[in-house]
A and B are shown apart, each in its own frame.
Chain A
Amino acid sequence: MLVLVTGGSGSGKSAFAENIAVSFGGERTYIAAMKVTDDESRRRVERHREMRADKGFVSVERYTDIKNLDACGTVILECMSNLLANEMFLPEGAQAKGPNAADEVIFGVESLNKKCDNVIVVTNEIFSDGIEYDEETRRYMRALGRVNRRAAEMADAVYEVVCGLGQRIKEVNHADI
């Protein structure tokens, strides 16, 4: 089962995704893709660690190359937008080595989906502020848009989280005209 969880920043999508993972039962792994580089990211990571402290996750920090990660049971990937940024902009990322960063993320999700019983992927809605960004940022947005669409296509269920409430936008209410 592959579940994609999207939403704006601070929408409660992580807590929502964690609760889905807990509901599946069994062994749970949390793949943390955010690299701590400063105080702000450290605080963010700590907040997330506290949030899931009682939910029985084994945490794995993994910033790139998800496709070669050994995993099983139920996993959360938190989050795909960070992972993509890592693959695009970190020196050890896919882009620095040649392959397309978006493809690398997609392969990573596909590979998790094959190896694990349940995969919950958290991503980010960053596309509706109407700002025309510089080319570098647009390139990232384009890539994330593609990764999101592909993940949603593969997913058995897609939720959009608003104010902590998950709306199932696939398959229920799916506009399959």
Chain B
Amino acid sequence: MIFVFGGAYSGKGEYVKSKLGVSEITPYDAPYEELKKAKAVRDFHLFVRDKMSKGLDAVKETEKFLEDDPDVIIISNEVGCGVVPVSAEEREYREAVGRIHCRLAEKADRVIRIVCGIGNVIK
């Protein structure tokens, strides 16, 4: 598994296509049968948000997905570098994304951080 993350509009998808040779990136909200077969999934932070909004355990859902698609490339937005939000729901969301990113980084064979379209392998 490869984990690719960075700020919004930093060129993560472009990087995955050009440097990791993936022609098609599956959106996080594609039907699960499709997601399981995906080479790369984008907007994984929204996968987390979506699961939470449905009252599901986002960590468990992530683990389940990784079992079903162990060699996937996961693309996600860094969302934790701002002021702590006033709303409890937003706080939980950002905390959950951060924790799940840590977990993904731990499991990944390679972690790539994108800034201005440039990838740096940090693991």
Contact = CB atoms under 8 A, between A and B. Distances in A.
Interface of A: 4, 6, 8, 123, 125-131, 141-142, 144-146, 148-149, 151-153, 158, 160, 169-170, 173-177
Given A128-B81, A130-B45, A141-B8, A152 B116 contact: yes
A129 B19 CA distance: 26
B79 A170 contact: no
B94 interface: yes
Contact of A129 (B82, B112, B119): B82
Contact of B10 (A130, A149, A158): A149
B115 A125 contact: yes
A174 to B, nearest CB: 7
B120 A169 contact: yes
| Most chain B CB atoms below 10 A, which of A130, A153, A173 | A130
B9 A129 contact: no
Nearest to B14: A149
A175 B117 contact: no
Interface in B71-117: 77-83, 85, 90, 93-94, 97, 112, 115-117
Contact of B118 (A126, A169, A177): A169
Interface string B11-40: 100100001100000000000000000000
Given A127-B7, A127-B8, A128-B8, A148 B116 contact: yes
A82 to B, nearest CB: 17
Contacts of A126: 7
Contact of A152 (B81, B83, B117): B117
B121 interface: yes
Given A152-B116, A169-B115, A169-B118, A128 B79 contact: yes
A174 B15 CA distance: 12
B10 A175 contact: no
A129 B79 CA distance: 5
A159 to B, nearest CB: 10
| Most chain A CB atoms below 10 A, which of B7, B80, B82 | B7
Contacts of B116: 4, 6, 123, 148-149, 151-152, 158, 169
B6 to A, nearest CB: 8
A67 B72 CA distance: 43
B9 A145 contact: yes
A146 B83 CA distance: 25
A106 to B, nearest CB: 13
A158 B118 contact: yes
